[in-house]
Structure 1
Amino acid sequence: MPKLGDVVPNFTADSTAGNIDFHSWLGDSWAILFSHPADYTPVCTTELGRVQALEQEFTKRGVKLIALSCDDVDSHKGWIEDIKAYNNLPEFSYPIIADPKRDVAELYGMMDPDEKDAAGLPLTCRAVFVIGPDKRLKLSLLYPATTGRNFDELLRVVDSLQLTATKKVATPVDWRQGGSCMVVPSVKQEDTAGLFPKGVTVHDVPSGKVYLRTTPQPE
């Protein structure tokens, strides 16, 4: 399983968009690779529909989307019609990878030890991998099969990752786009005026240490 900061493993696989070479498909974009336990299952049907509904928001952020399960391409294509119908979607625009041999799932550490198909083979958990333009892993999440994911949170995470990749800030708890940010500890106090023209507030704390510094979100 790739660790944060690792270049994610490359692979080739069939998908609903044809055969893909993952690194070539990534190009120099941000991307989210997410797995689901199986086609024609209820929670997955809601999740993939929600991702499609948010597709334009991810596109605005330069993020490509790609899903994966252990079912084959024909199964994926049939299931997409159910996803569209249940979620009232006119289209389904991102690819779903077929991984019946679990090659990609094993490569990325997606297997769920408690969930198995009718043949007794393990299924994938609800994994999420956010990948940067440098093809390095920026975030990973693992959910059990019984818990659906919140893809609005993934949008929030992408906003934070993209901001903090270029600005010397971190985003505090429950931060949203446009919210106040924290100046990272590595920035010297004497350098804050030049880096943050909107101003920096130093928050007094009992320790007397100068480490809680907030600034309006940098442009």
Structure 2
Amino acid sequence: MSSELLLNRRNTSTATLNMPGMLLGDEFPNFEVETTYGKIKLHEFLGDTWGVLFSHPRDYTPVCTTELGRAARLSSEFTKRNVKMIALSIDCLEDHHGWSKDILAYNCEEPACCSLPFPIIADSKRELAVALGMLDPDEKDKDGLPLTARCVFIIGPDKRLKLSILYPATTGRNFDEILRVVDSLQATAGKRVATPADWKPGDCVMVPPSMSEEQAASLFPAGVYTKDLPSGKKYLRYTPQQ
């Protein structure tokens, strides 16, 4: 599907039924792409790690430069969590390599001796951006085509989509929050718990309302705390993170 067609369909009543994109739980496509690290196939690149794919409107743009700079600074934190990062921008590899020097300079690093700690996908034809529903129809380039929105896709070791966040091109992302989300996803993966608002590692997690008190006592030997509420319903239950 072309960028023009995607833009034209925005005003049709059935557009949302047929828009390309990913749903939580879908297997993430194993696409093969050219990147600043050479040609990669996504599933093989990720291996048994988690993955964060984050897209950008264009190279040599101010908000994108600050984002990739922040992602580079936090790369060791993502590595600690067994997460590989990969960026995407709708420009060519030559531009990506040149832009990378600006990003390193923004971080006050010497471009001649360093490189970004993650690859950038070249998507100059917008094929991947369209296939994954990444375009922002409200922000256009000089040719009137929609720019890539600021998508975040978190992919589990099983290659399925665990989380997606879509920011407009005008709003920069908070990569500390993306780290926090990774922590929550990993803390709850395969466990019958959830994390409350503003949760961070070490805080108590929540016991789902569907679980009986007997099951909770059996699964959480550290104990379950129930908060008293005016309704009398005992659905706010906490247990230490295990």
TM-score range, shorter chain: over 0.9
Query: Is the 1:99–1:105 contact (alpha carbons within 8 Å) kept by the matching residues of 2?
Result: yes
Change (3 A) 1:91 1:19: closer
Query: What percentage of aligned pairs have identical amino acids?
Result: 63
Q: Distance in 2 between matches of 1:185 and 1:170?
A: 11
Does 1:161 pair with 2:181? no
Superimposed CA distance per residue, residues 47-101 of structure 1 (whole angstroms, 9 cap, x where no aligned partner) = 0000000000000000000000110000000000000001123541100000011
Structure 2 counterpart of 1:3, from 23, 26, 37:
23
Flag structure 1 segments of 5+ consecutive residues without an equivalent: none
Matched, 1:189 2:213: yes
- Tell whether 2:169 aligns with 1:145: yes
| Alpha-carbon distance in structure 2 between the residues aligned to 1:134 and 1:85 | 36
CA distance in 2, matches of 1:21, 1:114: 31
How far apart are 1:187 and its partner, in Å? 2.2
Give, as a single letter, the amino acid of the residue that structure 2 aligns with 1:8: F
Residue 110 of structure 1, CA deviation: 0.2
The letter for the 1-side match of 2:36 is T
In the alignment, which of 7, 22, 25 is matched to residue 45 of structure 2?
A: 25
Is 1:14 equivalent to 2:34 in the alignment?
yes
Which AA in structure 1 matches 2:35? S
Asked if the contact 1:9/1:107 (under 8 Å) is kept, the reply is no
TM-score of the pair, normalised by structure 2: 0.87
2:200 corresponding residue in structure 1: 176
SS in 1 for 2:179: helix
CA distance in 2, matches of 1:103, 1:91: 26
Q: How far 1:195 moved relative to its partner?
A: 1.3
2:97 is matched with which residue? 77
Unaligned stretches of 5+ in structure 2?
Answer: 1-20
Equivalent AA in structure 2 for residue 118 of structure 1: K
Equivalent residues, number:
218
Q: CA deviation at 1:16?
A: 0.2
Alpha-carbon distance in structure 2 between the residues aligned to 1:42 and 1:62: 29
Separation in 2, partners of 1:195, 1:72: 52
CA distance in 1 between counterparts of 2:97 and 2:25 reads 34
Query: After alignment, is 101-110 or 120-129 more displaced?
Result: 120-129
Verify: 1:37 aligned to 2:57, yes or no. yes
How many angstroms apart in 1 are the aligned matches of 2:158 and 2:209?
A: 25
Cα distance in 1 for partners of 2:209, 2:161 equals 23
Q: Give the distance between the partners of 2:202 and 2:236, measured in 1 at CA.
A: 19
Whether 1:58 and 2:78 are equivalent positions in the alignment is yes
Q: 1:91 to 1:16 in 2, by over 3 A?
A: closer
Task: State how far apart, in whole Å, the 2-side matches of 1:196 and 1:99 are.
Answer: 47
